[in-house]
Structure 1
């Protein structure tokens, strides 16, 4: 069933496939983010309670959602690397980590900006905010651990274990507003129930969420290719590739 994946266990094949996919993902990401942002900021109706300040949702929600999604993706990649000894899984996880940290920082920053007019303060030790801050520290811990160990095989294993331990924080972030009294508003986008956001506001938000997801994919592929080059620097195909670049 999974035989079609076997050729991509070869770093050279993975490198070339990622190179072919990057322009497509980048183009769709730029298109969707442009459409979603213009649609949300310029054409979505004003919220009857929050006024125009709600429009930060078109950046905050995609960033916050991705902060969790990326960490789960890292955990899956780390699990695959630890259990099946698939070395490229560790490279993929290390490629995702800085991107996830940036999206988490954006979520915290935009959340503070949004919280000031709504709550009257930039920060409260709310369950959702606190667990999101812990997520940022987890990302930074994984990045630091991976870079602190010279042997990257050992580094990937250690960072993978930390990633798997930290994944327990994800359901806390997700359901903290339901488990505890919270200033943070409940989720407005629901899968099993009808969303509480008006469709005129929801559709540009979903467009941006998809666009930001494709942006994450693009950046991950770029960083993944760099990881492959760094870990395969002595391979003949990498030397040949470098020679071709020098000749251009």
Structure 2
């Protein structure tokens, strides 16, 4: 395990590993998203209360889950960078931040579309919605702060610190529906409880969640390879690679 972690600190080895894993996750993402979308839109029955509008959750739920998961991943990468000075960890944190911001925005936007027929309004200052909006601002702040420094290392350190401060908002998002009286429904999936929805509804949703994760990993591997080449452009192995 420690040998593997040590190898991840090598930009060259990480670049090669990303190249080997990337096609597998692209194929998995396409298959899962295709099957999940067709199952949800065509074969899954409408909800007895919300009708066809409930199908928005097949995008909303994966986006909301990824929005939080990506930020936790950024926080872990930030700790690795600050403690062990592994620059590949900072590269990973940099390339996944825009994706996390996009998922947060998609979660808010799809939630607004779902709220119109369900709540009668596209927005309310609900605890879950407000904490997700704050999360979007934190994402934007991390991205902007990194670009505010002329030194890459200083920007990386500042972004890492802000990420670790911002990760406090993640449990607030997760438990907001428990701690406060909110309009937002509880979690759709929990590890200890059986889904309240019929299998014909939650199974395509699960495929969509897995497909979103595979898409995130594939895109991260692709962008990380580009970031490694950019930062290591003066090294011998990159110069030999691009010849």
- Unaligned residue ranges in structure 1 (runs of 5+): 244-248
Give TM-score, length-normalised by structure 1.
0.95
- Unaligned residue ranges in structure 2 (runs of 5+): none
Listed as ranges, the matches of 1:24-35 within 5 Å are 24-35=24-35
* 1:80-122 deviations in Å (ceiling 9; x for gaps): 1111111111111011100101111110110000101111111
| Runs of 4+ residues deviating >6 angstroms | none
1:84 aligned partner: 84
What CA distance in whole angstroms lies between the structure 2 residues aligned with 1:186 and 1:9? 39
SS at match of 2:181: coil
Instruction: Give the superposed CA RMSD.
Output: 1.0
1:117 and 2:117 equivalent? yes
* 1:206-225 deviations in Å (ceiling 9; x for gaps): 11100100100011111111
SS at match of 1:192: coil
What CA distance in whole angstroms lies between the structure 2 residues aligned with 1:7 and 1:73? 19
1:6 aligned partner: 6
2:211 aligned partner: 211
1:21 CA displacement: 1.0
What CA distance in whole angstroms lies between the structure 2 residues aligned with 1:12 and 1:89? 13
Cα gap change, 1:78/1:198 in structure 2, threshold over 3 Å: closer, same or farther? same
1:180 aligned partner: 180
What CA distance in whole angstroms lies between the structure 1 residues aligned with 2:5 and 2:117? 50
1:164 aligned partner: 164
Give TM-score, length-normalised by structure 2.
0.97
Size of the alignment, in residue pairs?
243
1:151 CA displacement: 1.4
Listed as ranges, the matches of 1:168-247 within 5 Å are 168-243=168-243
